[in-house]
Amino acid sequence: MDELNFAIYGCKKCRLWQDAKHGVPGEGPINAKIMFVGQNPGVEEDEVGRPFVGKTGKYLTKVLAENGLSREDLFITNIVKHKTPKNRKPFADEVAACLPYLLEQIRIIKPEKVVLMGKTAWLTPRFNGIKYYEVVHPQAASRFPKMGKKFQEQIKAIMR
Ligand code: SF4
Helix (H) or strand (E) holding 102: helix 92-109
Rounded distance from Cα 28 to ligand 1 centre (Å)? 20
Point out the residues of the chain with pLDDT beneath 50: none
User: What CA–CA distance (Å, rounded) separates 96 from 123?
Assistant: 10
User: What CA–CA distance (Å, rounded) separates 70 from 6?
Assistant: 26
Rounded distance from Cα 23 to ligand 1 centre (Å)? 8
The finding on whether 80 has its CB within 6 A of some atom of ligand 1 is yes
Q: Which atom of ligand 1 is least distant from the CA of 11?
A: 8
pLDDT at 57: 95
The finding on whether 34 has its CB within 6 A of some atom of ligand 1 is no
pLDDT at 41: 97
The finding on whether 102 has its CB within 6 A of some atom of ligand 1 is no
Counting Cβ atoms within 10 Å, is residue 113 exposed (0-12), middle (13-18) or buried (19+)? middle
The finding on whether 20 has its CB within 6 A of some atom of ligand 1 is no
Q: Is 35 helix (H, G, I), strand (E, B) or coil?
A: strand
The finding on whether 14 has its CB within 6 A of some atom of ligand 1 is yes
Residue span of the structural domain in which 128 resides: 2-159
User: What CA–CA distance (Å, rounded) separates 133 from 65?
Assistant: 18
User: What CA–CA distance (Å, rounded) separates 124 from 20?
Assistant: 23
Residue type, 9: Y
Rounded distance from Cα 81 to ligand 1 centre (Å)? 6
pLDDT at 29: 97
Counting Cβ atoms within 10 Å, is residue 75 exposed (0-12), middle (13-18) or buried (19+)? buried
pLDDT at 61: 96
pLDDT at 160: 86
The finding on whether 32 has its CB within 6 A of some atom of ligand 1 is no
Residue 79's CATH number: 3.40.470.10
pLDDT at 66: 94
Total domains, the chain: 1
User: What CA–CA distance (Å, rounded) separates 108 from 72?
Assistant: 18
